[in-house]
Amino acid sequence: MLDPQLLRHQPGELAARLRQSRGFDLDATTLERLEGERKQLQVRTQELQNLRNTRSKAIGQAKAKGEDVAALMAEVAGFGDELKASEVRLESIRGEIEAIALGLPNLPDDSVPAGNDESGNVEQHRWGTPRTFDFAVRDHVELGTRHGWLDGDTAAKLSGARFTVLRGQLARLHRALAQFMLDLHAGEHGYEETNVPLLVNADSMRGTGQLPKFEDDLFATTVGDGDAAHKRYLIPTSEVPLTNIVRDEILDDARLPLRMTAHSMCFRAEAGSHGRDTRGMIRQHQFEKVELVSVARPEESDAEHERMTRCAEVVLEKLGLPYRRMLLCSGDMGFAARRTYDLEVWLPSQDTWREISSCSNCGDFQARRMQARWRNPATGKPELVHTLNGSGVAVGRALIAVMENYQNADGSIDVPEALRSYMGGADRIA
């Protein structure tokens, strides 16, 4: 959530910034009207509350003296209805303003390039050289289905489109990737391994920005009588539960930066991606990811962003997968991000780079929604933390990249050296 002072005092300027950087249309006129009415009602409500308090005190004093309080009682009753109506309307207006605020994306950092879509992203650097093949390259679907390792038909029978069944050595390679990433991030990169719930409440989804704007992209479930209080959402990424661990908390300075990692199932309805990447495992309703989350002091979050992105890069380098780092433009960033790096891995079958990790600095945007704070030792006062999240990396896409980059002419797949200890010492699967 953006600083409410921007909405209250600079709605026109905020609308212009959002339109230019995000292509987002904020109705500044409506916001100004609501804010003006809120101010008037708040003043009047406070006047009526003061009148009620002073008159109530006067009634008590008059009763103690044995005086007639009928006139005072009539006066209190007269403005009591107005006070109740003012309080109800004030709460309604605050709700309308909050609904507007919850729908506003984060403002990009000054270092973010302007742009409307991925064509405006800026390449930062590359690592590795894409392999040259002397045989016809197969994609991951061909490589997997010919051995019975990857089975979309059975998954469709069980669950429908955009699900996959993995078997045998490919299933083990998938598991090996997740274990390797967790061991690397927890053992070498200093993240605390964390196991989190896959079902979370609406407050958690709201805290990281999935609600209310992206409800159509979420899977939800209910128990009992099915009312809103019993509604739970399947997480689209473990960023949600990891980041919400600090919701409504005031952290000691000594705990920062707080770094956490988790391997989890992720669930996305992909409501806006019909017809995109329907073949194989590129875009699934259910997938696995190793997530990185950091909670940092504001002055350290930019350095923490670089560090987190580097941790994800090390995964790809240890796996020997060529990649490039992209700085996303303002129009291609996620809703909550103020600055994002995407890591794109080389896929030989597509002869192009595909996203495998996205690392974002959200500044205080999520922290303000969650009321996540730290006690600044310099002032002794609670202040908003900065939150960061990144894929370290997407397990399914890493599997695809390993399959395609390490394939052989006979359809076998070499096992990257970093994974062999997780594969019982095997250097090839066939």
Residues annotated as binding site for ATP?
Answer: 268-270, 355-358
Closest CA to 158 of 45, 66, 286, 60: 286
Structure tokens at 217: 């992209």
8 Å CB contact between 331 and 23: yes
**Residue 111 to residue 184: CA distance in whole angstroms:** 30
Beta bridge partners of 123: 326
Instruction: Give the C-alpha distances (Å, rounded to integers) separating 270 from 77, 138, 278, 284.
Output: 55, 26, 11, 8
8 Å CB contact between 262 and 290: yes
Check whether the bond before 212 is cis (ω within 30° of 0): yes
Maximum Cα interatomic distance, the chain, rounded to a whole number of Å: 106
DSSP state of 349: T
Structure tokens at 238: 């473990």
**Residue 317 to residue 323: CA distance in whole angstroms:** 8
| Residues 6 or more apart whose Cβ sits within 8 Å of residue 429 | 169, 170, 173, 412, 413, 415, 423
Which residues contribute to the annotated binding site for L-serine? 237-239, 268, 291, 389, 391
**Residue 341 to residue 307: CA distance in whole angstroms:** 12
Closest CA to 413 of 126, 129, 150: 150
List the catalytic residues: 268, 283, 355, 358, 397
Closest CA to 355 of 383, 338, 333, 378: 333
**Residue 61 to residue 278: CA distance in whole angstroms:** 77
DSSP state of 108: P
| Residues 6 or more apart whose Cβ sits within 8 Å of residue 73 | 59
Q: For residues 277-287, b (16+ Cβ closer than 10 Å) or e, as one string? A: eeebbbbbbbb
8 Å CB contact between 343 and 357: yes
8 Å CB contact between 170 and 147: yes
| Residues 6 or more apart whose Cβ sits within 8 Å of residue 133 | 348
8 Å CB contact between 420 and 169: no
Which residues contribute to the annotated binding site? 237-239, 268-270, 291, 355-358, 389, 391
